């Protein structure tokens, strides 16, 4: 175990968010629309509207980066402020994989510290759980936030920091 934390991303007014992209259900014909920016407070802000039109229903925010070694860490810690809705947090150990490892967290409108045990993140692809075992890799190359609660809704998730513990 490591006695120190490793920052994955710490947002501020000068953050470079060029490696953060939104991917919505429009890739499958849907009409949802997500955006991402640094807000006036210096936090990352993922916001938009989920639409169920044309079999849509999700919006996601993805961050790809060079492979990050995580073998000495057991948890990802998120400091977020949501809108009372449920979100998925996702990681990929290899960005070329179709599947992600997923957990769901619920926001409450206030700043929250969400601790996610990597070993409890389960594999899924297109909303279906896979039987290949929970996350057990020693590195990650992508992380994502996704909203897809099977309803049309506006959303807003502020992100302050993410780190490994």
Q: What share of the chain has pLDDT > 90, as a percent?
A: 92
For domain 6-164, the question of CATH label 3.40.1280.10 is answered with no
Kindly report, residue by residue over 66-121, the tens digit of the pLDDT: 999 999 999 999 999 999 999 999 999 999 999 999 999 999 999 999 999 999 99
Q: 120, 132 in Cβ contact below 8 A? A: no
Kindly report, residue by residue over 48-59, the tens digit of the pLDDT: 999 999 989 999
Kindly report, residue by residue over 57-66, the tens digit of the pLDDT: 999 999 999 9
What are the contacts of 114-119 at 24+ separation with CB within 8 A? Answer: 114/77, 114/78, 114/79, 114/80, 114/89, 115/75, 115/76, 115/77, 115/165, 116/75, 116/76, 116/77, 116/78, 116/89, 117/74, 117/75, 118/70, 118/73, 118/74, 118/75, 118/76, 118/91, 119/74
Domain boundaries, the chain: 6-164
| Interval 120-137 mean pLDDT | 94
């Amino acid at each position: 175990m490591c006695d120190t934390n490793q920052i994955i991303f710490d947002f501020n007014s000068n953050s470079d968010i060029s490696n953060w992209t939104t991917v919505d259900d429009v890739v499958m014909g849907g009409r949802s629309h997500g955006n991402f920016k640094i807000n006036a407070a210096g936090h990352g802000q993922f916001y938009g509207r989920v639409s169920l039109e044309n079999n849509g229903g999700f919006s996601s925010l993805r961050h790809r980066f060079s492979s990050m070694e995580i073998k000495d860490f057991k948890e990802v810690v998120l400091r977020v402020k949501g809108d009372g809705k449920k979100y998925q947090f996702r990681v990929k150990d290899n960005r070329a994989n179709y599947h992600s490892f997923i957990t769901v967290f619920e926001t409450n409108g206030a700043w929250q510290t969400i601790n996610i045990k990597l070993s409890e993140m389960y594999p899924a692809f297109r909303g279906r759980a896979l039987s290949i075992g929970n996350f057990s890799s020693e590195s990650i190359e992508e992380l994502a936030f996704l909203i897809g609660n099977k309803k049309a809704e506006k959303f807003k998730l502020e992100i302050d920091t993410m780190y490994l513990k």
